[in-house]
Amino acid sequence: MKPFKYFNIIENSTSLFLVKILDLILTIWLIPYLIFKVGLENYGLYAFSLSIVLILINILNYGFDYTAVREISNGNKTIEIINKVFNETLSVKLFLFSVLLIISVVCIFIIPSLYNNKLLYGYTLFILLSHVFSLRWFFLSIEKMKFLFIIRANKTFIYVALIYFFINNKVDYVLIPLLEGLAMLIIFIITFFLVINEYKLSVKILPLKIIKKYLVENFNSFINLVIPTMFNNTVVFLTGVLGVPTQVSVVSIGVKLVSAFSTVNSILTKVFFPISNRTQKTNLSFVFLIGFGFFLSTLMYTSSEFIIELWLKNKSENYILDIIKISEILSLIPLLISIVSSFGVNGLLVLFKDKVFRIITKISFFVLIILTFILIPKHGVIGAAISLLLSRFIHALLSYIYYNKSIINEA
């Protein structure tokens, strides 16, 4: 690999790392601040609403971080290919947003628990709307991740300013998703039109027939991207369904800690995926991903207690102890995610084994659903943590087994 390619990897990794650092800083400040301002129970209601909209966002993005990246990387990033993929993603997003908006509004008005907080759930739809204009997939495709950091920095600045000025009382919890959605919408729309102007793109909304064809052809990639990203949100969501708002707060903070410790692997996965597709070489990514995964799991287990006690020192002792317990249970997940990233994303998907990886992902997610319904009612937040850990273990194990089977069959 030539020196400038190493520089490109370092630049992209650093940019994505800075994005995660921003997220981490925001989380460290935001969660204690919001709990102080709106109360633990109201924060739990907000966390539950956010878990729902994050699931919808994953559906809206329909695997573009895989399909768009792969198509543009394999197409040598020509303007013709970029314009084609741009119009496909925009058209599909607009269609899916329309469908999801209708379903969401209907659910808010017919489900009593949602209707009782209709403003909260209605405002979360602004977050969903903002992601119609998100070009995350675009910057991953052209391997210019530094722009993701610039976008996130501006969005974070606006969001923090809005939170500081508008969230002052307990009843203001309903405004939190509205403020987040507005901050995203402003930055995403500006970026959207800047990219169109810079690349001289010709925007065209595709016919419904072509959109349906795209949805069918890329269903495997959608499943492979959407379900793994839904594991954490689904656990938070089902804790809200099967438990109480305070339990949602505990589980939400636990999975955020897991996400923080999985940062490096998440970054390396996104950096190596276009490279692996272009070069068809995966050994380097495996070494980096699994090595960092092992290190991060070890670090999470040994440091969780110190971090949580320092971070949430003014909260009740039982609340802190619950978060420490589930964080220690979940500490193996960064390693498991790195195994999935290696043998699944940068392995099976690079080999175009999308269908195999889809089946593996669906089995793992099905295990998660079954376990949460069994364990959360009996064991509360501990049951939620165990469910997430075991489902991630199944995902990692099957990814490893079937990648090696694929290699043997092709040899």
CA dihedral 305, 308, 313, 319 (to 10 degrees): -90
Nearest of 187, 211, 49 to residue 117 by alpha carbon? 49
Q: How high is the mean pLDDT of the chain?
A: 83
pTM here is 0.72
Angle at 325 between CA 320 and CA 327, to 5 degrees: 95
Widest Cα–Cα separation across the chain: 64
State which residues of the chain have pLDDT below 50: 1-4
Which pLDDT score, from 0 to 100, does residue 219 have?
82
Tokens of 256: 């955020």
Convert 187-204 to b/e letters by CB count within 10 Å (16 or more is b). Answer: bbeebbeebbeeeeeeee
Torsion sign over Cα 338, 339, 344, 350: positive
Neighbours of 109 (CB within 10 A): 11
The pLDDT, as a whole number, for residue 121 is 93
Return the ∠ at Cα 305 (arms to 303 and 308), rounded to 5°: 105
Q: Residue 407: what pLDDT?
A: 75
| pLDDT per residue as tens digits for the range 10-38 | 666 666 667 767 776 776 778 888 888 88
